[in-house]
Structure 1
Amino acid sequence: MAEKKKREYFLSSNINWFADNNKWANLKSFGMVKSTVRCKGKQYSEKRYFISSIEDINEFVTAVRTHWTIENTLHWSLDVIFRDDECQIREKNTAENIAILRRICFNRMKMYQNGKTLKRKKMLCTFDDSFRFNVLFS
Protein backbone atom coordinates (compact mmCIF):
# COMPACT_ATOMS: atom_id res chain seq x y z
CA MET A 1 0.00 0.00 0.00
CA ALA A 2 1.36 3.39 -0.96
CA GLU A 3 2.00 6.02 1.66
CA LYS A 4 -0.32 9.04 1.50
CA LYS A 5 0.72 12.42 2.87
CA LYS A 6 -1.42 15.46 3.48
CA ARG A 7 -0.30 18.85 4.75
CA GLU A 8 -2.67 21.55 5.90
CA TYR A 9 -1.47 25.10 6.53
CA PHE A 10 -3.17 27.57 8.86
CA LEU A 11 -2.25 31.20 9.52
CA SER A 12 -3.87 33.65 11.93
CA SER A 13 -3.03 37.32 12.15
CA ASN A 14 -5.09 37.68 15.34
CA ILE A 15 -2.23 38.26 17.80
CA ASN A 16 -4.01 40.53 20.31
CA TRP A 17 -4.52 37.68 22.77
CA PHE A 18 -0.75 37.01 22.96
CA ALA A 19 0.52 38.73 26.12
CA ASP A 20 4.17 38.94 24.98
CA ASN A 21 3.59 40.20 21.43
CA ASN A 22 5.47 43.44 22.20
CA LYS A 23 8.60 41.37 22.94
CA TRP A 24 8.67 39.93 19.40
CA ALA A 25 9.79 42.44 16.76
CA ASN A 26 7.70 42.22 13.57
CA LEU A 27 5.32 39.61 15.00
CA LYS A 28 2.31 39.54 12.70
CA SER A 29 0.89 36.03 12.83
CA PHE A 30 0.84 32.52 14.21
CA GLY A 31 0.98 29.58 11.86
CA MET A 32 0.41 25.87 12.10
CA VAL A 33 1.16 22.98 9.78
CA LYS A 34 -0.76 19.76 10.28
CA SER A 35 0.88 16.79 8.58
CA THR A 36 -1.08 13.58 8.23
CA VAL A 37 0.47 10.37 6.92
CA ARG A 38 -1.49 7.22 6.18
CA CYS A 39 0.64 4.11 5.81
CA LYS A 40 -0.23 0.43 6.12
CA GLY A 41 -3.70 1.20 7.42
CA LYS A 42 -2.48 3.47 10.21
CA GLN A 43 -2.77 7.23 10.35
CA TYR A 44 -0.24 9.50 12.05
CA SER A 45 -0.64 13.24 12.58
CA GLU A 46 1.78 15.92 13.67
CA LYS A 47 1.27 19.63 14.28
CA ARG A 48 4.05 22.22 14.10
CA TYR A 49 3.53 25.77 15.28
CA PHE A 50 5.25 28.94 14.08
CA ILE A 51 5.59 32.52 15.22
CA SER A 52 5.78 34.58 12.06
CA SER A 53 6.25 37.99 10.50
CA ILE A 54 4.26 36.83 7.44
CA GLU A 55 0.61 37.67 6.91
CA ASP A 56 -0.02 35.96 3.56
CA ILE A 57 -0.82 32.23 3.64
CA ASN A 58 0.98 31.56 0.34
CA GLU A 59 4.16 33.21 1.63
CA PHE A 60 3.83 31.18 4.83
CA VAL A 61 3.55 27.90 2.88
CA THR A 62 6.62 28.81 0.82
CA ALA A 63 8.63 29.80 3.91
CA VAL A 64 7.81 26.57 5.76
CA ARG A 65 8.56 24.35 2.76
CA THR A 66 11.82 26.22 2.05
CA HIS A 67 12.89 25.83 5.67
CA TRP A 68 12.32 22.08 5.60
CA THR A 69 14.13 21.74 2.26
CA ILE A 70 17.19 23.37 3.83
CA GLU A 71 16.83 21.26 6.98
CA ASN A 72 16.50 18.01 5.00
CA THR A 73 19.53 18.90 2.87
CA LEU A 74 21.58 19.47 6.03
CA HIS A 75 20.52 16.12 7.50
CA TRP A 76 21.30 14.32 4.24
CA SER A 77 24.76 15.91 4.14
CA LEU A 78 25.45 15.00 7.76
CA ASP A 79 24.43 11.42 7.08
CA VAL A 80 26.63 11.14 3.99
CA ILE A 81 29.70 12.83 5.49
CA PHE A 82 29.50 11.81 9.16
CA ARG A 83 27.26 8.71 8.82
CA ASP A 84 24.95 10.35 11.33
CA ASP A 85 22.20 7.73 11.02
CA GLU A 86 24.62 4.93 11.96
CA CYS A 87 25.53 6.56 15.27
CA GLN A 88 25.15 4.05 18.11
CA ILE A 89 25.47 6.58 20.94
CA ARG A 90 22.38 6.41 23.15
CA GLU A 91 23.60 7.62 26.53
CA LYS A 92 21.89 10.65 28.13
CA ASN A 93 23.01 13.89 26.46
CA THR A 94 25.97 12.35 24.65
CA ALA A 95 24.11 11.77 21.36
CA GLU A 96 22.87 15.37 21.33
CA ASN A 97 26.34 16.74 22.17
CA ILE A 98 27.96 14.71 19.39
CA ALA A 99 25.28 15.90 16.95
CA ILE A 100 26.04 19.52 17.88
CA LEU A 101 29.78 18.95 17.38
CA ARG A 102 29.11 17.37 13.97
CA ARG A 103 27.09 20.41 12.91
CA ILE A 104 29.85 22.76 14.05
CA CYS A 105 32.44 20.74 12.13
CA PHE A 106 30.18 20.54 9.09
CA ASN A 107 29.64 24.33 9.08
CA ARG A 108 33.35 25.05 9.58
CA MET A 109 34.27 22.72 6.71
CA LYS A 110 31.68 24.38 4.46
CA MET A 111 33.06 27.82 5.32
CA TYR A 112 36.67 26.79 4.63
CA GLN A 113 37.25 27.45 0.96
CA ASN A 114 40.00 25.37 -0.63
CA GLY A 115 38.27 23.70 -3.58
CA LYS A 116 37.96 20.31 -1.89
CA THR A 117 34.71 18.41 -1.36
CA LEU A 118 33.27 18.14 2.15
CA LYS A 119 34.09 14.44 2.25
CA ARG A 120 37.71 15.17 1.29
CA LYS A 121 37.93 17.96 3.89
CA LYS A 122 36.70 15.53 6.56
CA MET A 123 39.39 13.03 5.59
CA LEU A 124 42.09 15.72 5.60
CA CYS A 125 40.92 16.93 9.03
CA THR A 126 41.32 13.38 10.32
CA PHE A 127 44.93 12.99 9.18
CA ASP A 128 46.42 16.48 9.00
CA ASP A 129 46.71 18.52 12.21
CA SER A 130 47.53 21.79 10.43
CA PHE A 131 44.62 21.40 8.00
CA ARG A 132 42.25 20.67 10.89
CA PHE A 133 43.55 23.74 12.74
CA ASN A 134 42.98 25.91 9.64
CA VAL A 135 39.44 24.61 9.17
CA LEU A 136 38.49 25.16 12.82
CA PHE A 137 40.21 28.48 13.48
CA SER A 138 40.56 30.36 10.19
Structure 2
Amino acid sequence: MCVVNALQWLPQREKWHLQSIIEVRSERKVADKVEQAIRYYGSSRKAGAKEFAKWIQAHWAIENSLHHVMDVVFKEDASLSDVGFSAENMALIRRLATNIIRTMDSGRGITDARQNATYAPNYLRELLGSST
Protein backbone atom coordinates (compact mmCIF):
# COMPACT_ATOMS: atom_id res chain seq x y z
CA MET A 1 0.00 0.00 0.00
CA CYS A 2 1.21 3.47 -0.84
CA VAL A 3 -0.31 6.68 0.57
CA VAL A 4 0.39 10.12 -0.86
CA ASN A 5 -0.64 13.05 1.35
CA ALA A 6 1.39 15.76 -0.39
CA LEU A 7 -1.04 16.74 -3.15
CA GLN A 8 -0.16 20.40 -3.69
CA TRP A 9 0.80 19.52 -7.28
CA LEU A 10 -2.70 18.25 -8.09
CA PRO A 11 -5.00 20.79 -9.76
CA GLN A 12 -8.55 21.09 -8.39
CA ARG A 13 -7.76 19.05 -5.27
CA GLU A 14 -9.67 21.59 -3.15
CA LYS A 15 -12.78 21.21 -5.30
CA TRP A 16 -12.98 17.54 -4.23
CA HIS A 17 -11.54 18.11 -0.71
CA LEU A 18 -8.86 15.58 -1.66
CA GLN A 19 -6.23 15.09 1.05
CA SER A 20 -4.81 11.67 0.14
CA ILE A 21 -4.44 9.23 -2.72
CA ILE A 22 -4.04 5.58 -1.81
CA GLU A 23 -2.74 2.77 -4.01
CA VAL A 24 -3.48 -0.81 -2.95
CA ARG A 25 -1.83 -3.74 -4.70
CA SER A 26 -3.30 -7.16 -4.11
CA GLU A 27 -2.75 -10.68 -5.26
CA ARG A 28 -4.96 -13.74 -5.07
CA LYS A 29 -4.63 -17.27 -6.28
CA VAL A 30 -7.57 -18.86 -8.07
CA ALA A 31 -6.95 -22.52 -8.91
CA ASP A 32 -3.38 -22.42 -10.26
CA LYS A 33 -3.59 -18.89 -11.61
CA VAL A 34 -2.31 -15.84 -9.72
CA GLU A 35 -4.33 -12.65 -10.26
CA GLN A 36 -2.89 -9.26 -9.42
CA ALA A 37 -4.86 -6.05 -9.04
CA ILE A 38 -4.12 -2.41 -8.36
CA ARG A 39 -6.87 -0.23 -6.88
CA TYR A 40 -6.76 3.49 -6.21
CA TYR A 41 -8.74 5.42 -3.62
CA GLY A 42 -9.11 9.12 -2.97
CA SER A 43 -9.79 10.41 0.53
CA SER A 44 -10.70 13.69 2.19
CA ARG A 45 -8.60 12.60 5.20
CA LYS A 46 -4.89 12.59 5.84
CA ALA A 47 -3.76 9.36 7.45
CA GLY A 48 -1.10 6.71 7.33
CA ALA A 49 -1.11 3.37 5.55
CA LYS A 50 -2.21 1.39 8.64
CA GLU A 51 -5.30 3.56 9.17
CA PHE A 52 -6.27 3.48 5.50
CA ALA A 53 -5.74 -0.30 5.41
CA LYS A 54 -8.21 -0.73 8.30
CA TRP A 55 -10.80 1.55 6.66
CA ILE A 56 -10.46 -0.09 3.25
CA GLN A 57 -10.67 -3.59 4.72
CA ALA A 58 -13.79 -2.65 6.71
CA HIS A 59 -15.37 -1.12 3.59
CA TRP A 60 -14.78 -4.27 1.54
CA ALA A 61 -16.01 -6.55 4.33
CA ILE A 62 -19.34 -4.70 4.33
CA GLU A 63 -19.44 -4.50 0.54
CA ASN A 64 -18.69 -8.21 0.10
CA SER A 65 -21.28 -9.33 2.65
CA LEU A 66 -23.96 -7.18 1.02
CA HIS A 67 -23.14 -8.33 -2.50
CA HIS A 68 -22.98 -11.96 -1.38
CA VAL A 69 -26.56 -11.74 -0.13
CA MET A 70 -27.75 -9.84 -3.19
CA ASP A 71 -26.15 -12.27 -5.65
CA VAL A 72 -26.49 -15.61 -3.86
CA VAL A 73 -29.93 -15.13 -2.32
CA PHE A 74 -31.56 -12.82 -4.85
CA LYS A 75 -29.53 -13.79 -7.98
CA GLU A 76 -28.91 -10.11 -8.68
CA ASP A 77 -26.09 -10.71 -11.19
CA ALA A 78 -28.45 -12.84 -13.32
CA SER A 79 -31.18 -10.19 -13.30
CA LEU A 80 -32.37 -9.08 -16.73
CA SER A 81 -33.94 -5.84 -15.48
CA ASP A 82 -32.60 -3.19 -17.83
CA VAL A 83 -35.56 -1.10 -19.00
CA GLY A 84 -35.68 2.44 -17.66
CA PHE A 85 -35.07 2.44 -13.92
CA SER A 86 -36.12 -1.20 -13.41
CA ALA A 87 -32.63 -2.34 -12.33
CA GLU A 88 -32.38 0.40 -9.70
CA ASN A 89 -35.95 -0.24 -8.54
CA MET A 90 -35.39 -3.99 -8.19
CA ALA A 91 -32.10 -3.41 -6.34
CA LEU A 92 -33.96 -1.14 -3.91
CA ILE A 93 -36.66 -3.79 -3.37
CA ARG A 94 -34.00 -6.47 -2.75
CA ARG A 95 -32.21 -4.28 -0.18
CA LEU A 96 -35.53 -3.43 1.47
CA ALA A 97 -36.45 -7.13 1.70
CA THR A 98 -33.04 -7.95 3.17
CA ASN A 99 -33.35 -5.19 5.78
CA ILE A 100 -36.89 -6.24 6.74
CA ILE A 101 -35.78 -9.84 7.22
CA ARG A 102 -32.72 -8.82 9.26
CA THR A 103 -34.83 -6.52 11.43
CA MET A 104 -37.88 -8.74 11.93
CA ASP A 105 -36.30 -12.20 12.01
CA SER A 106 -32.62 -11.96 12.84
CA GLY A 107 -32.49 -15.60 13.97
CA ARG A 108 -33.28 -16.95 10.53
CA GLY A 109 -30.90 -16.81 7.60
CA ILE A 110 -31.80 -14.59 4.65
CA THR A 111 -32.17 -17.59 2.31
CA ASP A 112 -34.48 -19.47 4.69
CA ALA A 113 -36.54 -16.36 5.43
CA ARG A 114 -36.94 -15.58 1.72
CA GLN A 115 -38.08 -19.14 0.97
CA ASN A 116 -40.41 -19.14 3.97
CA ALA A 117 -41.94 -15.84 2.82
CA THR A 118 -42.57 -17.44 -0.58
CA TYR A 119 -44.28 -20.58 0.72
CA ALA A 120 -45.88 -19.38 3.98
CA PRO A 121 -48.26 -16.45 3.44
CA ASN A 122 -48.66 -15.89 7.19
CA TYR A 123 -44.90 -15.47 7.61
CA LEU A 124 -44.85 -12.97 4.74
CA ARG A 125 -47.71 -11.03 6.35
CA GLU A 126 -45.82 -11.03 9.65
CA LEU A 127 -42.71 -9.62 7.94
CA LEU A 128 -44.77 -6.93 6.27
CA GLY A 129 -46.50 -6.03 9.53
CA SER A 130 -49.97 -7.14 8.50
CA SER A 131 -52.21 -9.04 10.91
CA THR A 132 -54.88 -10.03 8.38
When normalised by structure 2's length, the TM-score is 0.64
**Deviation, structure 1 residue 57:** 0.7
Q: Verify: 1:29 aligned to 2:20, yes or no.
A: yes
Counterpart Cα distance in 1 of 2:103 and 2:42: 29
Counterpart Cα distance in 2 of 1:90 and 1:78: 14
Q: Secondary structure at the match of 2:129?
A: helix
Structure of greater relative contact order (alpha carbons < 8 Å, 6+ residues apart): 1
Question: Which residue does 1:6 correspond to in 2?
Answer: none
**Deviation, structure 1 residue 116:** 2.5
Task: Report % sequence identity.
Answer: 23
Any idea what the Cα deviations from partners look like across 1:3-61, whole Å, max 9, x if unmatched? xxxxxx2212225552236xx5xx753323355789999x8755332314351112212
The 1:123/1:37 distance shift into structure 2, 3 A limit, reads closer
Deviates more, 1:67-76 or 1:117-126: 117-126
Superposition misfits of 4+ residues, deviation over 6 angstroms: 36-41
Question: Which residue does 2:2 correspond to in 1?
Answer: 10
Gaps of 5+ in 1: 1-8
Gaps of 5+ in 2: none
Counterpart Cα distance in 2 of 1:64 and 1:19: 23
When normalised by structure 1's length, the TM-score is 0.62
Q: Secondary structure at the match of 1:89?
A: coil
